[in-house]
Amino acid sequence: MPGRRLTARERQVISDGLAAGDSYATVARRLGRPTSTVSREVGRAGGTAAYLAASRSPGSLTPPARRGPVGAATERDGLVADAIRTLSALFHDSGLPRTASAVLASLIIAEAPVSAAQLSCRLGVTHGTVSRAVGYLEKLSVLHRESVGRQDRYSLESRVWSRVLELDAQRNTRWLAAARYCLGIAEIGPVGRERLTAMTDFFQRLGADMNAAAANADDPVRDDLAVLLAALVRHRAPLPDSRLLASLAWPARRLEAVLAWLEENPDALFPLTVRVTGAGLVADAHAEALPGR
């Protein structure tokens, strides 16, 4: 079998496998071929996207239904590749390694979890290079791995941006600690000490702001509270739970979570508040904000 030219049917099997997200090794086992045969076949076409586009051309063995023209698919692939390059350059300029930046950008754009083989084809790098980048991103806790059969697939962690914020806060803490350490060195002169003091003050303020932002980044109740207040202000009258839930298109437990959080944090909306009356919920001025109270 090795060395024999691929048939049209085998090329269609490769195309179908790539479209399903299978790895080169999985497709090769299906064909009874070496993995290198599949990778060379796809590589000669210019990668997975180009191979899939070519297999869907009018002269292909089994052109699939409900597909746009090859030119449109190629244009979409080019625009997606441009988005990945843009994001990758941003992440690399911010300090991430080049391939890790490209993998992170690819996961942001991806419509579904992707395999290492898909990332390898998309980025034009080896499987080992992708694996090292994936390992790096896993250590940062910004990437999620799931096993599907014998294959791992990767996606973006749901709280990736708050995690990035936490990492920035940790870095600023290290800068602050270094500035404070250097201030303790008596041999540093007055000009250097003045700069170190300014550095300490700056990173102390920045660290406090970023830590507060990181603590609140994953709290969806705060966003729901703002939506609830806006709904009550708009209606300008007490709203029964049933009407409020219909207006917001919320399940009852979501409203209960917001009200429970507000009960624990009564000053969160100061100088406003949300009160429960016999007629329903109403937005009102906080008691302590009224003149003469």
Per the structure, the complete domain to which residue 262 belongs is given by 220-289
Q: Are residues 210 and 240 in the same domain?
A: no
The mean pLDDT of 166-187, rounded to a whole number, is: 87
Residue 73 lies inside a defined structural domain of this protein = no
Alpha carbon 257 to chain centroid distance? Answer: 26
Q: What is the pTM of this model?
A: 0.48
Residue 264 lies inside a defined structural domain of this protein = yes
Query: Residue 99: which H helix or E strand, with range?
Result: helix 98-109
Residue 76 lies inside a defined structural domain of this protein = no
55 pLDDT more than 80: no
The pLDDT score that the predictor gives to residue 64 is 40
Q: Are residues 197 and 233 in the same domain?
A: no
The pLDDT score that the predictor gives to residue 234 is 78
Is 107:114 a contact under the CB 8 Å cutoff? Answer: yes
Q: Identify the domain boundary among 141, 156, 171.
A: 156
The pLDDT score that the predictor gives to residue 193 is 93
Dihedral-angle region of residue 178 (phi above 0 means left; psi in -120 to 50 means alpha; beta otherwise): alpha
Q: Are residues 151 and 104 in the same domain?
A: yes
The pLDDT score that the predictor gives to residue 189 is 93
Residue 32 lies inside a defined structural domain of this protein = yes
Q: Which residues of 134-167 are buried (b: 16+ CB within 10 A; e: fewer)?
A: bebbeebebbbeeeeeeeebbebbeebebbbbbe
Q: Where does the pLDDT of residue 216 fall: very low under 50, low under 70, confident under 90, or very high at 90 and above?
A: low
Overall number of domains in the chain: 4
Dist CA 282 CA 277 (whole Å): 7
Residue 123 lies inside a defined structural domain of this protein = yes
196 pLDDT more than 90: yes
Q: Are residues 131 and 179 in the same domain?
A: no
Residue 63 lies inside a defined structural domain of this protein = no
